[in-house]
Amino acid sequence: MLRKLKYIVPLALVFAISSCSKSSFDINVDPNNPANLPAKNLLPGIEKTLGDASASIGGISETLEVYMHRITCREAPNAYGVTGNSGFVDNVWIPYLSSGITNANIIIANAVPVNNFQYAGIAKLLKAFMFSQLVDIFGDIPFTEEGKLTEQILNPKFDDDATIYPALITMINDGIADLNNPAVNVLKPGSDDLIYGGQVPKWIKMANTLKLKLYVQQWKVKDVKADVMALLAKPETLISQTSENFQLPYSVDNKNPGYADYSAAQRTKDISPWFYEIMKGYNQNIFTDITDPRIPYYWFNQLTPDQVATNDGFKTEYRDGPFVSIYFGSNGPNSGFAQQNTQTVAGIYPVGGKYDDKSGSGNATANKLTATSATGAAPYRFITYADRLYLEAEMINVGQIPGDARAKTLAAIKESFNQVDAVVSLTGAAGVPKIVGVGNSPDSAYYAKVMTQYDNASTTKQLEIIMTQKWISSFGSAIDAYTDYRRTGFPVLFNPNATGVAQPPIDGDPTLPSQPSVKVSANRDFPLSLPWPSAELNSNSNAPAQKQPSTYKVFWQP
């Protein structure tokens, strides 16, 4: 059934995208033949697919945000419960393979013969990025035979993941060559390129930064020093400022999918207490006693500190003043109770939600959250300038390249803060204060405290600081965080089986004398890769048997 969808999904998605964009179908185009659709119609559909399939609701980050302990829920991702049958892995597998990559192949095949090299180059870069993400999530995937519908390959073989990365580097280089081709392009991308608006120099920077990311992710299993140094020798060819971030913009009319919880009949995505406590400075392992100024940008508290945190008489499981949530792997009596109008929700930075001005909106107030409470216009971030700086800091820290790891780490943290202001600006939200200031502003004080901990740490602990800051920065975009954890072992994640009990702040709920401890557990081990979709395995005669996610490693894992 999944392979049959390949003939249906690409065209359906193309129609969905083009119908809400400014461009329209040429009247001479056969609407029943996607191979005849012009690149200007296919490109925005591919880019939209890329963002939606990655998103924190409806995309693969819906699972990975939970696995990376920034979001908690009571659905299949809880306690590492996603299986090949659950449908959550379909959220990225089907859109990437059945739409994004298939339509990229169509652009490439049709663009080169008529000198539309810029379209071909962009399509190759998008295709390489999608394949790289699938490798990082699943390991072995269909690659050499994937998306070749015109050749009637309906059961593509699964390629060894270690062989795919080198092919992706070649694909990226080919894309760069197309973008630099001196031939006169018959057509050039413009507003149909949702990501960079047809700006070729930015696509080339994205391409080189993607290569840097792929090289860094392999350093434990392959000597990549020369490749990394060659890229860093020309920093101007890499993403070098916030405005060059590789990200998909969303808008008021086309909201970030992660914003869907604001209008949901029952909100199901809570902020992880583990994530909350690290940013509040409660964690005794890292950033102890350091409150992160990004908190009001990261989530919105529906309650004020003194409000009763109930919904139809139900009790909360975790509360700390205005913050209300549930634990990962909870077996507590209050974990399943609805907290529609009291739970803390994702804020302006990850999904374009509300900035937390401490006014609250739920329970006894009339201003409850709805689809129009905020803009939902936060971009989905694929690769950012901050990411690039964290990659460099990591490589210096582990001795792969020379440099000043401290300076690079501080630069990465500062850019993470700049990124918050940039996202807020893109959302169009009014009245939100900037987080980056001068002198004794909250961000400067935060930098100083974090770097004091860095200066007093061992080399390994410094790597933990680097990777934990990168984890904080990427909230809302979870694929690389999942990859980074499996590569480096950082950040340290919540382990419900360590003690079997979690303790909310004793005095966190003003309506109770004390909050009781909560029993927590996970029946499955942390997945070293995600299971392949069962529908793919059942329909593809060349597919392997289902893996054991807790033991199946992606090739770059030591």
Could you read off the pLDDT of 183-230 as tens digits, one per residue?
Answer: 888 899 999 999 999 999 999 999 999 999 999 999 999 999 999 999
pLDDT at 10 over 80: no
pLDDT score recorded for residue 440: 64
502 three-class SS: strand
- Is 328 within 8 Å of 78 (Cβ atoms)? yes
Query: What's the average model confidence in pLDDT over 149-175?
Result: 94
pLDDT at 29 over 70: no
Backbone angles phi, psi at 84, to 5 degrees: -65, -20
pLDDT score recorded for residue 472: 98
pLDDT at 32 over 80: no
CA–CA distance, 281 with 292 (Å, rounded to integer): 7
CA–CA distance, 323 with 302 (Å, rounded to integer): 8
For 165-233, give the DSSP string.
Answer: HHHHHHHHHHHHHHHT--SPPSS--STT-TTTTT-HHHHHHHHHHHHHHHHHTTTTTS--HHHHHHHHT
What is the pLDDT of the chain when averaged over all its residues?
91
pLDDT score recorded for residue 336: 85
Question: DSSP label at 101?
Answer: I
pLDDT in tens, 479-538: 999 999 999 999 999 999 999 999 999 999 988 889 999 999 999 999 999 999 999 999
pLDDT category of residue 2 using cuts at 50, 70 and 90: very low
Place of tokens 């009571």: 74
Question: DSSP label at 431?
Answer: S
- Largest alpha-carbon pair distance within the chain? 74
pLDDT at 12 over 70: no
Query: What's the average model confidence in pLDDT over 387-405?
Result: 98
CA–CA distance, 13 with 9 (Å, rounded to integer): 6
pLDDT category of residue 1 using cuts at 50, 70 and 90: very low
| Spatial CA neighbour of 490 closest among 520, 509, 470, 511 | 470
Q: Which stretch of 112-126, 139-153, 190-204, 232-246 has the lowest confidence by average pLDDT?
A: 139-153
Query: What's the average model confidence in pLDDT over 319-334?
Result: 95
CA–CA distance, 193 with 182 (Å, rounded to integer): 20
pLDDT score recorded for residue 178: 97
pLDDT score recorded for residue 339: 86
| Spatial CA neighbour of 528 closest among 139, 268, 120 | 139
pLDDT score recorded for residue 34: 53
Q: Which residues of 439-458 are buried (b: 16+ CB within 10 A; e: fewer)?
A: eeebbbebeebbeebbeeee
Query: What's the average model confidence in pLDDT over 427-436?
Result: 96
